[in-house]
Amino acid sequence: MKVPDGQIKELIGRVKSFPDNEGDLEFVADVAKCDLRFVKKIKFDTNNRFLVGFGGNKIFVLNLITKDYEILENNSRRYEKICDLNLISHSDENRGYKCFISTLRKDVK
């Protein structure tokens, strides 16, 4: 799936205008195409190649070079929610990345 040029430039402009990467952002999307209402926090990856949004047990990853995106989902039977994440893109590839997540387990309080 791809995000149209005009929409991605506007989104990046809004994100970069926040004082930090933990700011509030309301994602408004065409629900039939991509429902991003789960996104609660956003940040850029370490090399500024991806925009990452997460909330609950889902992660939205937008490649800023190719404009492709994907939605990843954590095991909701075992984990209550994703608390934080760190996405590191590979410097030699446009599509490669590693994502490290911190989660809250349902059986540990």
**pLDDT tens digit string along 56-108?**
999 999 888 888 888 889 888 888 899 999 998 886 655 688 888 888 888 76
Lowest-confidence segment of 15-19, 35-39, 77-81, 98-102 by average pLDDT: 15-19
Query: Strands, DSSP E only, in 1-109?
Result: 41-44, 50-55, 58-63, 69-73, 79-89, 97-105
Q: Please determine, for residue 12, whether its predicted confidence score (pLDDT) is greater than 80.
A: no
- CA nearest 61: which of 32, 24, 30, 101? 101
Q: Where are the domains of the chain?
A: 5-105
pLDDT computed for residue 84 by the predictor: 92
pLDDT computed for residue 58 by the predictor: 92
- CA nearest 104: which of 87, 85, 73, 79? 79
Q: Please determine, for residue 23, whether its predicted confidence score (pLDDT) is greater than 50.
A: no
The pair phi, psi for residue 19, each rounded to 5°, is -65, -30
Give residue 6's identity as a one-letter amino acid code: G
